[in-house]
């Protein structure tokens, strides 16, 4: 499948490498706001075409699908442009700023006979599928602690008085939507939609959350998600049941899964080795859904994206965090 990319950051380059590794997506075109950057990226990854005009790229027959990794706040506008030109869209997380944008985009995709995906790597990995299959080993679940705490180098720039995109409401930034979505997707993928949520953030002077604690209430337990871009942690993820505990090295890409029996205290490694370039799994799964028109799997992914955006919107509303596109 002929692939185009929008964005020139490290995440775009990582996706290009994963796409090549997948053997299913062939980079044919890249976009940047300037010809110079677009040409440079195209040359580096041997793309035959480059664009600095988004509309021209969307019209081009040289791409069938596009990966979008621009600032969060422009995801929606750019996605709609490509969908209207009947191109499949893979949009980097967080897919959009709110559920209203998501519903419009899904409707536009359907009207044009194409697919829309959120690029979220952890739920496509082999180890996520192992965890989902084995979750019953823990018995009745009683609690879960899912951290994603990673100090951002861009926080230093913020402290110097600069305005990095990810720390501004103008560009729909903040810790929950940037990092918290990884453990949130993990929770939604394993436990489904929570009954209620409560979010307690540390609000920065820019009006977005630098860190926060998100509580997801389920029937018999509470899942606690910790996210931060202003501190660092090596804490693993844990899911606690009456019969045992799952210990995950990380929320993404779920590098290792250990199960500890509550009675014997014996532990077992359940995970398998994964590709170092772990975005390859989402590339493969997405390409296969498009190729085979697997609408059943597509609907499952759509539902997860909808739940995640409902949760993050409610979390923001509870704390008066308003994005620029919503003002």
Q: Which CATH number does the domain housing residue 254 bear?
A: 3.30.360.10
Please tell me the distance from the alpha carbon of residue 195 to that of residue 222, in angstroms, as a whole number: 10
- Closest by alpha carbon to 299, among 309, 314, 289? 289
- Within this chain, do residues 141 and 263 fall inside the same structural domain, yes or no? yes
- Within this chain, do residues 102 and 139 fall inside the same structural domain, yes or no? no
- Closest by alpha carbon to 66, among 40, 92, 45? 92
Question: What does the pLDDT read at residue 280?
Answer: 99
Inside any domain, residue 131: yes
Question: What does the pLDDT read at residue 136?
Answer: 98
Inside any domain, residue 27: yes
- 7-46 as b/e: b if 16+ CB within 10 A: bbeeebbebbbbbbbbebbebbbbbbeeeeebeebbeebe
3-class state of residue 173 by DSSP: coil
Q: How is residue 236 annotated by DSSP?
A: P
Single out the residue in 96, 119, 142 at which a domain terminates: 119
Q: How is residue 180 annotated by DSSP?
A: I
- Within this chain, do residues 47 and 151 fall inside the same structural domain, yes or no? no
Number of Cβ atoms within 10 Å of the Cβ of 123: 23
Q: How many domains is the chain built from? A: 2
Inside any domain, residue 282: no
Domain range for 316 is 123-274+307-326
Inside any domain, residue 82: yes
- Within this chain, do residues 183 and 317 fall inside the same structural domain, yes or no? yes
- Within this chain, do residues 71 and 146 fall inside the same structural domain, yes or no? no
- Within this chain, do residues 147 and 68 fall inside the same structural domain, yes or no? no
Tens digit of pLDDT per residue, the chain (327 long)? 999 999 999 999 999 999 999 999 999 999 999 999 999 999 999 999 999 999 999 999 999 999 999 999 999 999 999 999 999 999 999 999 999 999 999 999 999 999 999 999 999 999 999 999 999 999 999 999 999 999 999 999 999 999 999 999 999 999 999 999 999 999 999 999 999 999 999 999 999 999 999 999 999 999 999 999 999 999 999 999 999 999 999 999 999 999 999 999 999 999 999 999 999 999 999 999 999 999 999 999 999 999 999 999 999 999 999 999 999
Inside any domain, residue 289: no
Phi and psi at residue 90, to the nearest 5°: -115, 105
Question: What does the pLDDT read at residue 79?
Answer: 99
Which runs of consecutive H residues, i.e. helices, occur in the chain?
10-22, 35-44, 54-59, 75-84, 99-111, 126-134, 153-159, 175, 181-191, 280-292, 295-318
Single out the residue in 101, 119, 137 at which a domain terminates: 119
- Closest by alpha carbon to 69, among 41, 44, 91? 91
CATH of residue 54's domain is 3.40.50.720
Inside any domain, residue 281: no
3-class state of residue 98 by DSSP: coil
- Within this chain, do residues 128 and 31 fall inside the same structural domain, yes or no? no
Inside any domain, residue 298: no
Which runs of consecutive H residues, i.e. helices, occur in 137-236?
153-159, 175, 181-191
- Within this chain, do residues 130 and 104 fall inside the same structural domain, yes or no? no
What is the CB-side half-sphere exposure of residue 233 using CA atoms within 13 A?
Answer: 17
Please tell me the distance from the alpha carbon of residue 30 to that of residue 51, in angstroms, as a whole number: 6
- Within this chain, do residues 311 and 231 fall inside the same structural domain, yes or no? yes
- Within this chain, do residues 216 and 154 fall inside the same structural domain, yes or no? yes
- Within this chain, do residues 79 and 177 fall inside the same structural domain, yes or no? no
Q: How is residue 97 annotated by DSSP?
A: S
Please tell me the distance from the alpha carbon of residue 27 to that of residue 24, in angstroms, as a whole number: 10
- Closest by alpha carbon to 168, among 311, 308, 15, 327? 327
Pair 238, 258: CB distance under 8 Å: no
- Within this chain, do residues 17 and 139 fall inside the same structural domain, yes or no? no
Omega of the bond leading into 52 within 30 degrees of 0 (cis): no
Single out the residue in 119, 141, 157 at which a domain terminates: 119
Inside any domain, residue 299: no
């Amino acid at each position: 499948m002929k692939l185009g990319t929008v964005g020139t950051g490290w995440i775009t380059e990582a996706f290009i490498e994963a796409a090549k590794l997948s053997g299913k997506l062939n980079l044919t075109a890249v976009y940047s706001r300037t010809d110079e950057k677009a040409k440079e990226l195209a040359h580096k990854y041997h793309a035959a075409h480059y664009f600095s005009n988004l509309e021209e790229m969307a019209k081009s027959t040289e791409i069938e699908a596009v990966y979008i990794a621009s600032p969060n706040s422009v995801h929606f506008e750019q996605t709609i442009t490509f969908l209207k030109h009947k191109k499949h869209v893979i949009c980097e997380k967080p897919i959009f700023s709110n559920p209203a944008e998501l519903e419009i985009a899904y409707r536009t995709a359907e009207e044009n006979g194409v697919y829309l995906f959120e690029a979220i790597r952890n739920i496509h990995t082999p180890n996520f599928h192992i965890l989902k299959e084995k979750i019953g080993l823990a018995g009745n679940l009683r609690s879960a602690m899912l951290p994603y705490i990673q100090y951002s180098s861009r926080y230093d720039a913020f402290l110097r008085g600069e305005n990095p995109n990810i720390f501004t409401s103008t560009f729909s930034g903040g810790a929950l939507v940037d990092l918290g979505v990884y453990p949130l997707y993990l929770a939604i993928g394993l436990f489904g939609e929570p009954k209620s949520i409560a979010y307690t953030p540390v609000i920065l002077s820019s009006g977005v959350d630098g860190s926060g604690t998100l509580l997801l209430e389920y029937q018999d337990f509470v899942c606690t998600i910790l996210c931060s871009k202003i501190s660092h942690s090596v804490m693993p993820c844990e899911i606690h049941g009456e019969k045992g505990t799952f210990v995950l090295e990380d929320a993404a890409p779920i590098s290792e899964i250990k199960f500890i029996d509550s009675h014997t205290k014996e532990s077992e490694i359940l995970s398998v080795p994964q590709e170092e370039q772990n975005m390859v799994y989402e590339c493969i799964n997405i390409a296969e859904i498009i190729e085979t028109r697997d609408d059943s799997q597509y609907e499952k992914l759509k539902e997860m994206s909808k739940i995640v955006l409902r949760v993050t919107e409610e979390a923001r509303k509870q704390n008066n965090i308003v994005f620029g596109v919503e003002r």
